[in-house]
Amino acid sequence: MDQFGHNPFSPGMKSGVFIPDQLISGPLQVVTDSVTIGVSGVIRRGTVLGMVTTSGEYIPSKKDATDGSEKPSAILVDDVDTTTTAQTGGIYLMGEFNQNRLIIDATWNIADLKAAFRPLPIFLRDSIQSPVS
């Protein structure tokens, strides 16, 4: 019979808990890219972005903008702090997204945003609900 005594060595192991934010809402493969995010403050994951035509930088899309960013073209993958300078950040170019988890400017509503995304492979869905019995 083997006996195991007290072992004072404890490995430096950490554990974490993953809590999904439910931004991605369907099985469609997501496609990402790395781009320059223009100076806009702290931008949160799930923000709808448009590209400024003259600079090629992505900033939060506003429907009433006139610099090209009025055309939503991507969704931000992770939080990016662009308070003082432009940063490289990831964007989603394709996928199914939970419209209730997106961060959108007040100039947009979901119906108009869905129509603006229609030519692109970005699909907005409501969260899936259980059928009422």
Beta-bridged to residue 124, according to DSSP, are: 97
Give tens-digit pLDDT for 79-90: 999 999 999 999
Beta-carbon neighbour count of residue 51 at 10 Å? 22
Give all domains of the chain, ordered by start, each with its CATH number.
31-123 (2.40.300.10)
Residue 133 confidence (pLDDT) above 90 = no
Give tens-digit pLDDT for 107-117: 999 999 999 99
Biggest CA pair distance of the chain: 79
Give tens-digit pLDDT for 27-47: 899 999 999 999 999 999 999
Q: Which of 62, 77, 73, 66 is nearest to 109 (CA)?
A: 62
What pLDDT was estimated at residue 19?
72
Both structure tokens of 120: 């692109």
The two beta strands, 87-98 and 31-37, are antiparallel
Residue 60 to residue 71: CA distance in whole angstroms? 10
Residue 6 confidence (pLDDT) above 60 = no
Coil, helix or strand at residue 115: helix
Residue pointed to by tokens 């969704």: 75
Task: Determine whether 47 is exposed, middle or buried from the number of CB atoms within 10 Å of its CB (0-12, 13-18, 19+).
Answer: buried
Residue 82 to residue 63: CA distance in whole angstroms? 21
